[in-house]
Structure 1
Amino acid sequence: MAIEIKAPTFPESVADGTVATWHKQPGDAVKRDELIVDIETDKVVMEVLAEADGVLGDIVKGEGETVLSGELLGSLNDGASATPKESAKEEPKAASQPADAEKSAAQDAKPSGEEPMLSPAARKIAEENGLAPADIEGTGKGGRVTKEDVMNAVEAKKNAPAKAPAEAAKPAAKAGAVDNAALAEGDRVEKRVPMTRLRARIAERLVDAQSSMAMLTTFNEVNMKPIMDLRSKYKELFEKKHNGVRLGFMSFFVKAATEALKRYPAVNASIDGGDVVYHGYQDIGVAVSSDRGLVVPILRNTEYMSLATIEGTIADFGRKAKDGKLSMEDMTGGTFTISNGGVFGSLLSSPIVNPPQAAILGMHKIQERPMAEKGQVVILPMMYLALSYDHRLIDGKEAVSFLVAIKELLEDPARLLLDI
């Protein structure tokens, strides 16, 4: 009985998908719950698993083709066996038996050793030219090496060194100057690959964001020494207490942003048509880089999350992103986003707001700089912070005050505990 293989049911926000990879080909045996095909959408890669044991039948949608929600991809022959395919492979083998028998007979005609038979004249010429009998292909009866075979091998050996200097001369010529003829032969290689749906969607959303909102960016800087000292003092105890979860900087930024969002609700709001939607919760997206592009999984209800829960969840998101296992639910929603370009060495940037959110916080590289402190010049680990925001919803005063609140909370972490 043939079972239809259909595309998964896509969420309302996903119009269609693309067949990324068929992991099985027609005639291949398939086990129940085994991965058959990957469907790439503009957010995640969705896996289609086998509903039963059987053999993959016809493929209706090939790799690279667009599919709609629930559309037919192919068929699975339930309970069928892959033996017909295997027997087809065996037929050419059977047909080749006479040739194998002939080869075996030729080998039987040789002496018991591996070295082929040479006539005295052929052996003398081979020894004079430093050729091993095993390196000479025999064309005589039963694989016997003739005098002509040895002469051909000698000629081949003489010609081989003559080509080597010519080949070696090419790199030498290129070292001094650009060889246009050599470049024309294929050194200027280009590769054209289709853009992934995720990257295409990211590009589309970024262009839309810049053209549809009045986006501004305000900057500030934060002294990271208090956070770094706190982390150094407790990181080993923290990791031991929380089963290997490491204490990083991101959890402090998430908690500081959560507190600041409570104080300035407009930064946590969004525009829906002609309405402003104020969210009574804090769902913070954390930008994560993956091979397919930038993805933003969501930390939900961060107001109730501990530092350990935040760090553990972010680490889990990173592993999922690397393996392509992030689900649609992981990346749906969000009221605010934090992007950390500092992990790649960025000193300063202007992040782009992720619609329909109203703001995004950009973290950057920690850089030691001379700073004035109580009339003295001291070297401190400083980080630039950037807040990009939609000026249609957030006034400059609110944006600057929001960023200052994050700065104050990070420079005095006790405020997070005392809620002041």
Structure 2
Amino acid sequence: MSESINVDVPTVGESISEVQIGQWLKQEGDWVRSGEDLVEIETEKASVQIPAPASGILEKIVKASEAFATIGETIASIRPSESPEGNDGAPASGGAAPAATPSAPAASNPSDAAATASGQAATFAMPAAKRLLEEHGLSASQVPASGPGGRLLKEDVLTFVRNRGNAPAPAAAPSRPAPAAVVPASRPTPSTSLVAESLPNRREEVKPLSMLRRTIAARLVEAQQTAALLTTFNEIDMQNVMSIRSKYKDAFAERHGVKLGFMSFFAKASVEALRRYPLVNAEIRDDNIVMRHYHDIGVAIGGGKGLVVPILRNVERMSFADVELGISEFARQAGENRLQPADLIGGTFTISNGGVYGSLLSTPIVNPPQSGILGLHSIQERPVAIDGNVVIRPMMYIALTYDHRVVDGREAVGFLKTIKEVIEDPSRLFLEL
């Protein structure tokens, strides 16, 4: 028989030494083809799929989902096989069928019979189930388990106790009748466990932070501790942009194969504002201010594992269609957890659109080492004064959080004013006004 082949954690980045096991795409006993995705691992930047190094049967999973592993560590083993039947012709997912055994003797009491007739034998009792077992003087072997992997749940014990209470008592040998016990009608018998049933669900579940969540937490705390963050606000009349979008959305989608959204307007408006106020596009590096003359804009996207910020490179050279196509592709990859680390590295400025979730106003946190982030919010119709008249307009609050070590209040306010001017009169984008 061929020796098993180890599946090791590959190198996924220069600075990455630890990963977290995500979802196993195959289970023990499954046959897998060489190069077929075997498991997803999460790094601090993205999810990566590990392919099978050879065709064969997944013999053993060493690291379960959500466990952590270091680079080069073995997480599974594969027994080489060129077909799902295995080298010996046996099915891949199991060995020989167990030999037939004589019928088990009849259960000695109704409780054992009930446990045998339904469910499966318990392999592990949950803490709440253990407490109820002790309360009612039962053992785990008496109660059929319905939880995954043979876990005995609290609900299994309660159901068993109720059924036992309703079962007819076994016939007893004739004896002198004992005085009947007087039990108040309002007093529940121990077997009904009304107290246990009336308690609210207080179950707790402890799960480790994912690699992505740990990175997000560390970077947000880093931003709060190392930067002098300040937020300024403005509001925008979205009437003109909404009219343009409504007028050209069908033709735009037909020509470019993607919907015309608001993000492309704000991305191009941000490029114009960054040109006028380049310090918002800069960063502090050691004791220097690094001025970037390109505009790599990160777009915050809610992915399958949390918020990610993929980067649109050189937005100053992109068309509206390029921006929308780029965002659409990033959103698809984020939903499938297939963003690569290179998609998330770098960036000179970030746009976060909390409005898609209904946020009216927020103070976004800068993504270090960047110096600014633009927060967009939901569009709401509000009364505003225009030329001395009160009219109803679709309005949006916008926020700029900036690093006060680099950007002064004058530049921050001017930056948002530029965004406002460009969005309220989009023709400025084409006339360079």
TM class by shorter chain equals 0.7 to 0.9
Tell me the residue number matched to 2:182. none
- Report the Cα offset of residue 239 of structure 1: 1.0
How is 1:9-408 mapped onto 2 (pairs within 5 angstroms)? 9-79=11-81, 81=86, 83-84=89-90, 89-92=95-98, 95=100, 182-184=197-199, 187-243=201-257, 245-408=258-421
- Report the Cα offset of residue 58 of structure 1: 4.2
- Report the Cα offset of residue 85 of structure 1: 5.4
- Report the Cα offset of residue 84 of structure 1: 4.2
- Report the Cα offset of residue 288 of structure 1: 0.7
Higher share of residues assigned helix: 1
Is the 8 Å Cα contact of residues 28 and 93 (structure 2) preserved in structure 1?
no
Cα deviation digits, residues 8-55 of structure 1 (max 9, x gap)? 212124331112233334443211221212211122111100132122
* Distance in 2 of aligned mates of 1:221 and 1:87: 61
* Distance in 1 of aligned mates of 2:301 and 2:287: 32
Cα deviation digits, residues 242-284 of structure 1 (max 9, x gap)? 12x1011111000100111122111111112222221121111
Is the 8 Å Cα contact of residues 281 and 370 (structure 2) preserved in structure 1?
yes
Is the 8 Å Cα contact of residues 45 and 324 (structure 1) preserved in structure 2?
yes
* Distance in 1 of aligned mates of 2:78 and 2:424: 61
Q: Percent of aligned positions with the same letter in both sequences?
A: 51
How many residue pairs match? The answer is 341
Letter of the 1:95 partner, please give it.
A
CA RMSD of aligned residues (A): 2.4
Structure 1 residues 343 and 201, CA gap change in structure 2 (3 angstroms): same
Structure 2 stretches lacking a partner, 5+ long: 104-162, 168-193
Cα deviation digits, residues 103-125 of structure 1 (max 9, x gap)? xxxxxxxxxxxxxxxxxxxxxxx
Structure 1 stretches lacking a partner, 5+ long: 100-155, 161-178
Cα deviation digits, residues 212-239 of structure 1 (max 9, x gap)? 1100001011110010111111111111
TM-score with structure 1 setting the length = 0.76
- Flag the structure with larger Rg: 1
* Distance in 1 of aligned mates of 2:42 and 2:334: 14
* Distance in 2 of aligned mates of 1:273 and 1:15: 25
